Amino acid sequence: MRADRARSTRLTSIPTPLRVLAVLAIVSLGTTGVALATTGTGISTTIISVGALDDLRLKSDIDGHKVDITTKGASDLYVVDNVIAPGGNTGWHSHPGPSLITVKSGTITEYESDDPSCTPTVHTAGQTFVDAGGDHEHILRNEGSVPAETIAVQIVASGAPRRIDLPAPGNCPF
């Protein structure tokens, strides 16, 4: 008990500004070499709706059009509206579950982190694309001259973050 008091006394005897500097130095040493996550620019995200789902087993076969969706465990279903200004982007990110994305207006250009040539995939108004989530890391950019808008439906494990910001992978010049 006495040793604990002695340590406590020694720490409190150090002036507060020096303690703050010591903490900052330790934190900066611990983060040296760590790539920082990218954040989006020129993007406005509105969560339109969030709902909870239990285990889901949905099978549909209507006139030969088959749909099969299965989840195990509780999930959150998000409906999200993203508006990206000309020159804006989402930042590099992933999702912990799949997303179905429809381009409502404008044009979205997608780049994937595992493509060494940084080849763009262009999605125009009226098109839908799928983001499988998990380790699928990407960035969506508006390289056009008018705002672009997407609507995404996302299914993630209950309580999981909807989006995971990531550092730029280095395969693209931006």
Q: Report pLDDT for 36.
A: 73
Q: Report pLDDT for 7.
A: 45
Q: Report pLDDT for 11.
A: 47
Q: Report pLDDT for 164.
A: 96
DSSP string, 94-155: E-SS-EEEEEEESEEEEEETT-TT---EEEETT-EEEE--TT--EEEE--SSS-EEEEEEEE
Provide the CATH number for the domain formed by 41-165 in this structure.
2.60.120.10
Residues of the chain where predicted confidence (pLDDT) is lower than 50:
2-11, 17-18, 20-33
Q: Measure CA of the first residue to CA of the last residue in the chain; give whole Å.
A: 56
Stretch(es) of the chain classified as CATH 2.60.120.10: 41-165
Q: Report pLDDT for 15.
A: 57
Q: Report pLDDT for 146.
A: 98
- Amino acid identity for residue 156 in this structure: V
